[in-house]
Amino acid sequence: MDDTPPEPSPIKQALQKAGIGEPKRSALAGLEHVTPEYVNAWEVNLKQVKGKRYTPGLLIYVLEKGDPAPPVNANGHHPNCECDDCKYIMYRTCWYCKKYPCVCPSSPEDEEEDNDYDEDTDT
């Protein structure tokens, strides 16, 4: 028989990564609004805002309270994150829709306007 324990759920893995142990990890994983993305968003936000004053206890309080998740960028980091990956995304963000990857609908009229130029400018 295989005596290896089953792989923990993604929610429990996110909670464990955030430093939350048992039995609180199982209690939080049972809450309907708690998802791995929700845990990550709050963990990143609290670490950015609180810095060295961040503790897993603060994260537990916020997760139990059930407030809406704070905004995150495409990397799942705080919107003002200055890591190299986030700087790359900021550089690549569309100037018009402000998203990465761009979500602008491409308009055939716009493409035609870009290619409409008169080669006969001698007259």
For position 2, what pLDDT does the model report? 59
Using alpha carbons, select from 70, 65, 77, 19 the residue that is nearest to residue 42. Answer: 70
pLDDT digits (tens, 9 = 90+) for 12-38: 988 999 899 889 999 999 988 988 888
Mean pLDDT by 10 residues, the chain (123 residues): 72 90 90 89 86 90 89 71 72 71 63 50 53
Residue matched to tokens 């950015």: 48
Look up the pTM and report it.
0.61
Domain ranges (residues) in the chain:
7-80, 82-116
Residue matched to tokens 């799942």: 76
In contact, 40 and 64? CB cutoff 8 Å? no
In contact, 104 and 119? CB cutoff 8 Å? no
Collapsed DSSP state (helix, strand, coil) of residue 55: coil
For position 1, what pLDDT does the model report? 53
d(CA 49, CA 60): 16
